[in-house]
Amino acid sequence: MSESNRYRLPKTVVPSRYDLVLEADLETFAFEGAVDVTLIIGEAVDEIVLNADELAFGPACWLETSAGDRIEVTGVWLDPETERAHLSLARTASPGDATLHVEFTGPVNDRLRGFYRSTYTDDIGEHTIATTQMQPTDARRAFPCWDEPEFKAVFGLTLVIPEGLRAFANGAKASSEPAGSGKRRVTFADTMPMSTYLIAFCVGRLDATEPVIMGGVPVRVVHVPGKGNLTSFALEVAEHSLRFFTDYYGIPYPEKKMDLAALPDFAAGAMENPGFITFREAALLVDPSTATQAEQLRIGETIAHEIAHMWFGDLVTMRWWNGTWLNEAFATFMALLAMDAWKPEWKVFESFALDRSEAFEVDALSSTRSIEYEVIAPADVEDMFDVLTYEKGGSTLWMLEQYLGPEPFRDGIRKYLADHLYGNTETADLWDALAEVTGEPVGRVMDAWIWQGGHPLISVVRQGDQVALSQSRFGHEGAGDGTRWPTPLRVRVGECTESLLVEPEGVVVEASADELVVANAGGSSFVRVHYEGELFGAVRDAAARLAPLERYVLLDDAWAAVLAGALGAVEFCELAARFGNENESPVWKTLLGGLGWCDRLLDGEPRDGFRSFVRDLAGPRLEAAGWEPREGESDLDRELRGTLVRAMGLLGRDAPTIDRAVVAERASRAGEDIDGPLAAAALPVAATAGGKEEWEAFVAMYRDGATPQQQRRYVQALASLPQPELMQRTLAKTLDGYVRGQDLPFLIGGCLTSRDHGSVAWGFVKENWDALSSKLTPHLLVYLVEGVRVFSTQVQRDDVLAFFETHPLERAGKMLVHALERQGVAVALREREAGKLAAAFAAGGRLRGLGS
Ligand SMILES: [Zn+2]
């Protein structure tokens, strides 16, 4: 990074410690504060430059040298563009130690960033919580600071709070004293040396579970009163994760306590503040007896992800925001390892494949980006919080781990952390540590993967007694450019699996004609595979003997080939028809994802034919699974039942399935004991047969549902009600304050992707754009509009493009560019495939009756 970057603070003055006092007024939503920053002045300065935004300075502000001289700050100039404050000193400060004292005021905002407010209502009334979300650069809205990850410091925090409320922060509560006027002064233990984006604190009417000591670390869940019954799962995951990571990293947990806090309003999923990890409620609180396995896994992964960050990210931190991807990708991969160790029976890498497929789809666009890129302004990093960072980044680390071997990989991680304790790093530092431990060309391989967008298509061709693997760039736009990657790939020939590095010029392996060849064995490489001729037929015919992830990849690669125009949708359906006996829910889900697209492309009689095809395909498997959970069933067996109910109800439109779903949904809503995955699947199916009465009940369940998961399921199910006028009413609910801002993307996004009424939602978004965009953070806004990717007629596309031409997103705009290009892919898919699909599913067509 060039030193001339105007967004980087000068290093003439460096902080080592902050003593911060804050007092928020929860009625006027204003706060006042004072901070004493211990500094090292490296060279004589006339002004001190630090970050501040939306803060007013004063009344007092001065610099005190270690000799006790006080130098007044005579002027403050705030630059809103770089979000900096320039403090002019009355005279030059000489090099040496000093303390900067600044008093300031600011707003407790309602935009889910910096120091913000969250509310909840109970029997007593409405309550306000003042809480924080600092990443990436919002600490500067809570107090003046050197708000770059490289300026690590120790933080000593004191909060002045009303009697009767509780306060939490990174450090444990060290003291609490009356402060007069019905207030208390709560002081917290010092933090470890850390970056400003990791500061967190919270004041409100909140409860905490009794601390459970885990490996010497007291762990609690903080929640709004009345939700303590939903905390046990989180504590179990935390206990496992703490033990797992302490062992994996070979370093003790770096803070002294751990609180996991569930907040009613939270923009992201969760945030890795050391000692005080914050979550949205749905990402932490759960009743395992009514949740689906997928919901539990998502929560478990989120908790493990944040705990993984306590070392990787918090203890050792990226120097600047370009390193954000590695921070996030690594925590994503670590969470998979931790959950896989905790619940091997959940087969977490199979579920992860579904997330990875999203990344594949974005990465096949011509507008994809490299995983890492140069970040100049901190705002540039907003584009980095997407599937290419988390899912593609996490996948490349998984691929690397499989190539190096789990233990050598772990040893490299240990070395990297030990070498940089409490420090800051560049991405290459990790590759260097891994290369040193393993002797492999880690830097060369990973540089190609993180600095080039896209991914390879591995073509497998028989040449006599050998098989040649060559690579090209996979893309929806047809043949890609000349980009190539040194690609770690596991290849199985017969019974023997070999780990290879497929270089740009390709590689040849020995394989006689009767040996089965599986490229991407185990499914851990971030590649698409194309088998030529007989090689494909052999893999397809051997599907039952493949590992579940290999079957997943076979179908997922096939659907990607459909999007790329290399395979017909009809041929995809013929392949899908062979999977009626499939036992794994993720394999069904990827198959149904492709079929869901086919459903969008069909109307009238051919659509009836398609529905009958789906019923023939999924019906016997659901019949075999039955509607009632059985003795000895695994969590995944129950999950599969839910997947099949959705297939039969939503795509097959099977009348008996819909009837049973209506009964199950009503029983579940009435509080009867319906198995979680069945209740979750029955809801959207029942919604398709619902009306005004269900609309009212679903809206009420968003507030009254027993768990955050149930609330979320109901808010999403609103989009499945069949009447356009009910969708209008649903959409109107998003502006009257009933639905929390954090939930709008799920609600409006769900309406946008509705097959039949998406245009109703799009009309609403256009009409209310100003209201929506002023309400939401840049990420929530882009999640909300991403649903336009499914509009697949040219008329819709022209309309969407024209709208965003005049309404560009200020931040996270790259994700919108991806969504718009995906829409182009959808339009091309319709133009290419709709007619052929209709012919194949019409009476007498080649797919009629094939599912049976
Ligand atoms: Zn993270």
Query: Encoding tokens for residue 83?
Result: 């979000």
The mean predicted confidence, pLDDT, of the chain is 96
Task: Report the pLDDT value the prediction gives residue 802, as an integer from 0 to 100.
Answer: 97
pLDDT in tens, 332-383: 999 999 999 999 999 999 999 999 999 999 999 999 999 999 999 888 888 8
Task: Report the pLDDT value the prediction gives residue 379, as an integer from 0 to 100.
Answer: 85
Q: In Å, how far are 107, 335, 647, 720, 813 from 691, measured between CA atoms?
A: 43, 41, 22, 10, 37
- Distance from the CA of 306 to the center of ligand 1, in angstroms? 6
Helix axes of 348-363 and 393-404: crossing angle, nearest 10 degrees: 120
Mean pLDDT for the stretch of residues 383-412:
97
Q: Are 237 and 342 in contact (CB under 8 A)?
A: yes
- 5/57: higher pLDDT: 57
- Distance from the CA of 483 to the center of ligand 1, in angstroms? 29
pLDDT in tens, 180-229: 999 999 999 999 999 999 999 999 999 999 999 999 999 999 999 999 99
- Give catalytic status of residue 306 as yes or no: yes
Q: Are 848 and 615 in contact (CB under 8 A)?
A: no
| Nearest CA among 326, 212, 323 for reference residue 260 | 212
Q: Are 72 and 23 in contact (CB under 8 A)?
A: no
Q: Are 273 and 206 in contact (CB under 8 A)?
A: no
Mean pLDDT for the stretch of residues 675-696:
98
What phi and psi values does residue 604 have, to the nearest 5 degrees? 60, -145
Residue the block writes with tokens 């999403």: 716
Q: Which contiguous run of DSSP H or E holds residue 833?
A: helix 813-841
Query: Encoding tokens for residue 689?
Result: 């047969």
Task: Report the pLDDT value the prediction gives residue 344, as an integer from 0 to 100.
Answer: 98
Q: Are 422 and 150 in contact (CB under 8 A)?
A: no
Tally the C-alpha atoms within 13 A of residue 213's C-alpha that lie toward its C-beta.
Answer: 2
pLDDT-derived band at 1 (thresholds 50, 70, 90) equals very low
In a 3-state reduction of DSSP, which class is residue 800?
helix
Rounded Cα distance, 158 and 34, in Å:
10
- Distance from the CA of 390 to the center of ligand 1, in angstroms? 8
- Distance from the CA of 302 to the center of ligand 1, in angstroms? 8
pLDDT in tens, 93-145: 999 999 999 999 999 999 999 999 999 999 899 999 999 999 999 999 999 99
Rounded Cα distance, 576 and 559, in Å:
10
pLDDT in tens, 306-322: 999 999 999 999 999 99
- Distance from the CA of 331 to the center of ligand 1, in angstroms? 6
pLDDT-derived band at 477 (thresholds 50, 70, 90) equals low
The one catalytic residue in 306, 582, 639, 821 is: 306
What proportion of the chain, given as a percentage, has pLDDT over 90? 94
- Distance from the CA of 162 to the center of ligand 1, in angstroms? 33
Mean pLDDT for the stretch of residues 494-515:
96
Look at residue 2 and tell me whether its pLDDT is greater than 50. no
Task: Report the pLDDT value the prediction gives residue 255, as an integer from 0 to 100.
Answer: 97
Task: Report the pLDDT value the prediction gives residue 26, as an integer from 0 to 100.
Answer: 95
pLDDT in tens, 540-554: 999 999 999 999 999
Tally the C-alpha atoms within 13 A of residue 434's C-alpha that lie toward its C-beta.
Answer: 23
Q: Are 246 and 307 in contact (CB under 8 A)?
A: no
pLDDT in tens, 427-441: 999 999 999 999 999
- Distance from the CA of 448 to the center of ligand 1, in angstroms? 23
- Give the lowest-confidence range in 493-507, 696-710, 769-783, 831-845: 769-783
Look at residue 269 and tell me whether its pLDDT is greater than 50. yes
- Distance from the CA of 330 to the center of ligand 1, in angstroms? 8
- Distance from the CA of 774 to the center of ligand 1, in angstroms? 26
Q: Give the DSSP per-residue string, 160-173.
A: EEETT-EEEESSPE
Task: Report the pLDDT value the prediction gives residue 68, as an integer from 0 to 100.
Answer: 92
pLDDT-derived band at 850 (thresholds 50, 70, 90) equals low
Rounded Cα distance, 471 and 454, in Å:
12
- Distance from the CA of 600 to the center of ligand 1, in angstroms? 35
- Distance from the CA of 270 to the center of ligand 1, in angstroms? 8
- Distance from the CA of 516 to the center of ligand 1, in angstroms? 40
Kindly report the pTM of this predicted structure.
0.97
Q: Are 445 and 400 in contact (CB under 8 A)?
A: yes
Query: Encoding tokens for residue 360?
Result: 């594949």
Amino acid (1-letter code) at residue 581 = N
Tally the C-alpha atoms within 13 A of residue 137's C-alpha that lie toward its C-beta.
Answer: 23
Q: Are 353 and 590 in contact (CB under 8 A)?
A: yes
Mean pLDDT for the stretch of residues 624-645:
96
